[in-house]
């Protein structure tokens, strides 16, 4: 998450106790993540995370996951809790970076790496690394922030394995036409309040897409 991202104006505050996010599944189920109190921080809601990890499968053993706009780190920590062997959290806000590192230390989460910096720049540096799952929850900002979302989707396409998955959280549903132009196809999608969420696969992965959409 950039400073102009989930902590920017227009985002809804986190539900529940301020500054705390609870892991909902896996090894660290019910563990609390302490989060720096920044105005407008928007962690992915519990029921959306539950749906997402039902789609991905509860066991992520052996997978490599990248959370590009980490914020609270809820998605990355959920992945690690479910067995992901490598999780990279990218975050720009210093206070949130400190929270992420403190939480990783407290949980002895050696599989988690926290990298401070601009998400787009750091994603570009990792082009071709073939991650299994990328979590993409860019800042909503004022309005829909389409340009940032479009650029993030383009960069993420160069990071995901041929049979990998991308989770997109956005203030609106992205259409099949828009996503196809960027090399993606929709496998699953839903809405919770003002948040639209999508599970995407690379457009070339036809066989894997058919299995996911039919399961």
Query: What is the domain range of residue 134?
Result: 20-214
Burial string for 149-179 (b: 16+ CB within 10 Å, else e) reads beebbbbbbebbbebbbbbbbbbeebeeeeb
Q: What is the mean pLDDT of the chain?
A: 86
Structure tokens at 143: 């309005």
Q: Is residue 7 part of a domain?
A: no
State percent of the chain over pLDDT 70: 83
Q: Is residue 1 part of a domain?
A: no
Residue 10 has pLDDT above 50, yes or no: no
Which pLDDT score is estimated for 36?
87
State percent of the chain over pLDDT 90: 73
Q: Is residue 128 part of a domain?
A: yes
Q: Is residue 13 part of a domain?
A: no
Number of domains in the chain: 1
Please state which of the ranges 33-37, 59-63, 113-117, 147-151 shows the lowest mean pLDDT: 33-37
Please state which of the ranges 8-17, 98-107, 137-146, 191-200 shows the lowest mean pLDDT: 8-17
Pick from 119, 111, 8: nearest CA to 68 = 119
| CATH code at position 179 | 3.40.50.150
Q: Is residue 171 part of a domain?
A: yes
Which pLDDT score is estimated for 175?
94
């Amino acid at each position: 998450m950039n400073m102009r991202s989930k902590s920017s104006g227009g985002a809804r505050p986190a539900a529940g106790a301020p500054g705390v996010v609870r892991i909902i599944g896996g090894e660290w189920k019910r563990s609390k993540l302490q989060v720096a109190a920044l105005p407008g921080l928007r962690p992915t809601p519990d029921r959306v995370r539950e749906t997402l990890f039902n789609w991905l499968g509860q066991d992520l053993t052996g997978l490599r996951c990248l959370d590009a706009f980490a914020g609270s780190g809820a998605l990355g920590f959920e992945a690690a809790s479910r067995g992901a062997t490598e999780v990279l959290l990218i975050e720009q806000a210093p206070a949130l970076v400190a929270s992420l590192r403190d939480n990783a230390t407290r949980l002895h989460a050696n599989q988690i790496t926290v990298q401070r910096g601009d998400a787009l720049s750091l994603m570009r540096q990792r082009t071709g690394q073939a991650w299994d799952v990328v979590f993409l929850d860019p800042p909503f900002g004022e309005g829909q922030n389409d340009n940032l979302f479009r650029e993030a989707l383009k960069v993420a396409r160069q990071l995901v394995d041929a049979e990998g998955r991308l989770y997109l959280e956005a203030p609106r549903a992205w259409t099949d036409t828009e996503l196809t132009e960027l090399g993606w196809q929709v496998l699953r999608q839903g809405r919770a309040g003002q948040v639209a969420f999508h599970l995407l696969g690379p457009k070339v992965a036809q066989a894997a897409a058919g299995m996911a959409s039919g399961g």
